[in-house]
Structure 1
Amino acid sequence: MVKQIRARRTRSRLLDAAAEEFAVHGYAATKLQAVVARTGMTKGALYGHFPSKRHLATALVAESAQQWSRISSTGLERGGTADVILAGLIREIRAQLETNVRFRAALRLAADCELSPSGSPGLFEGIRCELVRSVRRAQEEKGLARSYPAETVAYLILALVYGTSHLPLWETAQGVTVDPDRAWEMLRTALNLG
């Protein structure tokens, strides 16, 4: 029992360290030695849990894909109008990107190279499909951005949400920092999204 607990903790520490590296450097530039250095463990500990960088990355993506599946189904179970459900999904994606390094890393990995268990949709694909469905429902129910294809609106939403998690803060010519929340508010207003 103690060994299992220790093994789970080790695996979790390795996933956290790998997530930090993948989130910053992406798949190609991440070095396993940097992951090991973050944990203070040996390479043997890493390879005891993950035989390769690809296995480590795939584990992060698979975990986040499962998490996204729970998030999207929970939003649908809560019910409400289509625009409220869509806004909730978007808030959840933003929250995950801001607070969950594993999710942020997994989305970066999914953008770099789609890593998903065979037969299941990848993380980006799962998010894309749910956003398109939600936008389409909001268009039908509320007339939300009806003049634009649902796929285009979903793409714009994901580009803004994902992009702002990777951009550094900008300053205007007047020295005011551009607020990502304000950019999101502008898009919500333009789309008539509650």
Structure 2
Amino acid sequence: MTEQLMVKQERAARTRDTLIRSAAEIFDREGFAVASLSAITAHAGVSSGALHHHFVSKAALTEAVEEAALARLMAVTGAVLPLGASRVQLLVDVTHRLARALRGDVVLRAGFELSGETSRPPHADLREWWRRWVEETLKQADAEGELCSDVTAADVVSAVVAATVGFEVLGVREAEWLSASTVTRFWKLLLPTLVPAALLADLDYEGVCPL
């Protein structure tokens, strides 16, 4: 591969990434339904031709935003659990990571917002992906004896997903909903009803693995 071709490919990749981020910023600021390709190209500082070179339509660009957002969500949830570590603590840690990432990453935030967009079916449903990750983590916690005997994993999934997605929705307009203190207060209220007293003392409500 010639140096000239490599430079050209790197420039194209940068332009594509810029368009994805610009689309996410416009979706986040104006809403998906009213966001226009002309607004996105102007925000990105590229021509309409450059946009259509990478994305044939608004739908294609939107799908790219969702795919980029999903990759970020997978990075947030992808921590390797040390041998013998608590699944419940992992869940606490990851909810803190997710809230922090949503505060600072407009692509991730836009991806979650697109999951709730009613005018089109999601290409990559981040909220559903998050629900499945929470469900799998809690099933493993239950199997390893980390939940109280009268608590079902399904009940906890409902509470955690409802709260965290609620924080995400409310946090679009009021950042305090995605603050570490909000997530910590949630866990202080919830964990004593879920986890046996013998295990509760070892858990850190504030999360032990910040992003």
TM-score range, shorter chain: 0.7 to 0.9
1:182 alignment partner in structure 2: 181
2:60 to 32, 55, 58: 55
Equivalent residues of 1:23, 1:104 under 8 A apart: yes
Distance 1:169 1:95 in 2: 10
1:166 alignment partner in structure 2: 172
1:174 alignment partner in structure 2: none
**Residue ranges of structure 2 left out of the alignment (5+ in a row):** 1-5, 192-202, 206-211
Equivalent residues of 2:19, 2:40 under 8 A apart: yes
* Pairing 1:106–2:111 present: yes
Equivalent residues of 1:26, 1:109 under 8 A apart: no
Equivalent residues of 1:20, 1:101 under 8 A apart: yes
Distance 2:166 2:10 in 1: 39
* Pairing 1:2–2:7 present: yes
Q: What TM-score do the two structures reach when normalised by structure 1? A: 0.80
Q: Counterpart amino acid of 2:181? A: R
Equivalent residues of 1:19, 1:105 under 8 A apart: yes
Over aligned residues, Cα RMSD in angstroms? Answer: 2.6
**Residue ranges of structure 1 left out of the alignment (5+ in a row):** 171-177
* Pairing 1:116–2:123 present: yes
Larger Rg: 2
Q: Counterpart amino acid of 2:128? A: E
Q: What TM-score do the two structures reach when normalised by structure 2? A: 0.74
**How many residues are aligned here?**
182
2:128 to 125, 130, 149: 125
2:69 to 64, 68, 73: 64
Q: Counterpart amino acid of 1:142? A: E
Query: Alignment identity in percent?
Result: 23
Residues 85-108 of structure 1: per-residue CA shift (max 9 Å, x gap):
101221221122011111111111
